[in-house]
Amino acid sequence: MNPTIVSLIRHGVTDVNREPIFQGQMNNPLAIEGTRQAQLLAARLSFVKFDVLYSSDLLRAVQTAAIIVKPHDKEIRTSSQLREINRGDWTGMSYKACAAADPAGWQASRINPEFRSPGGESFVDLHKRVVTEIERIAMLHRGMHIVIVTHGGPIRAFLRHAVGLPAHHMQTFEAANTSISRFKLEDQQWSLLQFNDHAHLEPNNVVSGS
């Protein structure tokens, strides 16, 4: 059987992405720039064969997926398990406001991967949720190329899993808006093929077929 390829794509930018705010599971649309980013990515992927496309059910991801899928005869399968981390009561709050309202909680959120904001998830919770869902999808479509449009937190969580880092690992890995991170599953082992590739956003750069 061919290896299973999973391409994780972060949604295009939203207006909230530009602010020091916990966006979390807010259902924000793409900004004008985010739509442009998704169109550039769609052009890059227009000649790339993939078998199935999944998306977080949050609007910014679904809008990105809809632009990507236009050149392809594919449906968009949505899953709430691919959402960004749930920040609970901190959702929509600025970092400054969170730090002022709950200094101890704010400090814990920077160093403790098991910390949960009130009503929210921890980074460990996010890791377990995302890894379980992506592995479920991979098992459903073994030997295929799967495209998944999701968010920065889930992409970083799955990267840790694929390269063997523990869920508690707090090192930050940047996944730019509309970046591509590609993973291979073969002989029940994940490996990293590509991470945070956003060459389609670079000025005067023509990228196709990757």
Active site positions, annotated: 11, 84
**CA atoms of 79 and 8, how far apart (whole Å):** 14
155 Cβ contact list (under 8 Å, min separation 6): 8, 10, 175, 179, 181
Q: Is the dihedral of CA 66, 67, 68, 69 positive or negative?
A: positive
Instruction: Please list the residues that pair with 180 across neighbouring strands.
Output: 9, 197
